[in-house]
């Protein structure tokens, strides 16, 4: 067997962490996996599904002897988790994460690493609106990108090992500066989630002569708003942690909505056609 990781500790055995383990198991890249979390039912599910070999609710116990620690809890919890495990890390241990925001996590977690241990920030560009160990599956990362966000403090060998781990899980690895990552993902991921939540909120609270307008929704509304079913705690954390970039993105979106409103109010058919055609061209250009 092609064992690359002797003991992998997964903190937060949900969709992202569970899927990574499943993919690495299929690749024959793991010797043993310890799952670490807060609630016993999710950990027991991860054990019964064969994702983990051992489970514990004790962070410090769980990371002892691990050569790689992968953290996949909501982003605001990641620095606290790293602070908690740092004194228990084995020499040479690599700590990495799958959080959707990078700047704050990378700078805080790098500073928390004890000498001889290494932090590498990461973000797999794959997911669903479902959560928990039971939602995980081995092919989640196949053919998808995983962005790693090294800094000048990143250990080159640790970066290479984490890159290899993601490639074994099926992902295409690319490198990006953490702040650049946060600006891009504010636009293409975090803003769309905010727009979906805001749209469903607006329609769900719309008062049209006492009618429950949501009962009339059809395919288009459902397609567009699927991501508003995503976990509220995860998105609360992303919105708070990527606040500055996200506010810029929301301002851009507000400007776009205001322009659209202006053209509708003015009865500007030509302007509306031009607006929609430009958007359609952008959308059709997405591969």
Candidate list 74, 79, 122, 178; residue touching ligand NAP; CB under 6 A: 74
Cα–Cα distance measured from residue 205 to residue 215, given in angstroms and rounded to the nearest whole number: 13
Residue 122 binds ligand NAP (CB under 6 A): no
Residue 242 binds ligand NAP (CB under 6 A): no
Q: Least distance from C-beta 170 to ligand NAP, angstroms?
A: 15
Q: What is the dihedral of CA 168, 173, 178, 184, to 10 degrees?
A: -130
Cα–Cα distance measured from residue 175 to residue 83, given in angstroms and rounded to the nearest whole number: 25
Q: What is the dihedral of CA 131, 133, 135, 141, to 10 degrees?
A: 100
Q: Least distance from C-beta 245 to ligand NAP, angstroms?
A: 15
Candidate list 5, 8, 9, 13; residue touching ligand NAP; CB under 6 A: 13
Is the separation of the CB atoms in 17 and 11 below 8 Å?
Answer: yes
Return the number of the residue (29 or 78) whose C-beta is nearest ligand NAP: 78
Q: Least distance from C-beta 87 to ligand NAP, angstroms?
A: 18
* Helix, strand, coil distribution of the chain in percent, nearest 5: 55, 15, 30
CB contact set of 188 (below 8 Å; sequence gap of 6+): none
Residue 117 binds ligand NAP (CB under 6 A): no
Point out which span in 97-105, 248-256, 260-268, 272-280 binds ligand NAP (CB under 6 A).
97-105
Return the number of the residue (98 or 150) whose C-beta is nearest ligand NAP: 98
Candidate list 34, 66, 79, 131; residue touching ligand NAP; CB under 6 A: 131
| Segments in 6-125 forming alpha helices (H) | 15-26, 40-48, 59-63, 78-85, 103-112
Residues at the site binding ligand NAP, with contacts judged by CB under 6 A? 12-17, 37-39, 42, 72-75, 77, 98-100, 123-124, 127, 131-132, 231, 234, 238
């Amino acid at each position: 067997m092609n064992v690359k990781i002797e003991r992998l500790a997964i903190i937060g055995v949900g969709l992202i962490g569970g899927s990574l383990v499943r993919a690495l198991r299929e690749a024959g890249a793991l010797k043993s996996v310890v799952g670490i979390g807060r609630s016993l039912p999710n950990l027991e599910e991860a054990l019964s599904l064969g994702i983990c070999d051992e489970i514990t609710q004790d962070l410090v116990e769980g990371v002892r002897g691990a050569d790689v620690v992968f953290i996949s809890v909501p982003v605001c919890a990641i620095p606290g988790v790293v602070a908690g495990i740092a004194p228990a890390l084995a020499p040479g241990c690599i700590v990495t994460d799958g959080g959707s925001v990078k700047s704050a996590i990378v700078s805080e977690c790098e500073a928390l690493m004890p000498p001889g241990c290494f932090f590498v920030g990461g973000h797999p560009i794959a997911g669903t609106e479902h959560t928990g160990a039971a939602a995980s599956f081995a092919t989640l990362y196949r053919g998808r990108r995983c962005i790693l966000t090294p800094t000048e403090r990143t250990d080159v060998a640790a970066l290479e090992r984490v890159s290899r781990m993601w490639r074994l899980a099926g992902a295409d690895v690319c490198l990006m500066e953490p702040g650049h990552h946060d600006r891009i993902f504010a636009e293409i991921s975090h803003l769309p989630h905010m727009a979906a939540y805001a749209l469903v909120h607006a329609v769900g609270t719309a008062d049209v002569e006492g009618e429950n307008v949501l009962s009339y929704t059809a395919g288009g509304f459902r397609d567009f708003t699927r991501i508003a079913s995503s976990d509220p705690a995860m998105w609360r954390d992303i919105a708070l942690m990527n606040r500055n970039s996200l506010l810029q993105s929301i301002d851009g979106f507000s400007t776009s909505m205001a322009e659209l409103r202006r053209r509708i109010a003015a009865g500007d058919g030509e302007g509306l056609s031009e607006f929609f055609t430009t958007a359609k061209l952008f959308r059709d250009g997405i591969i």
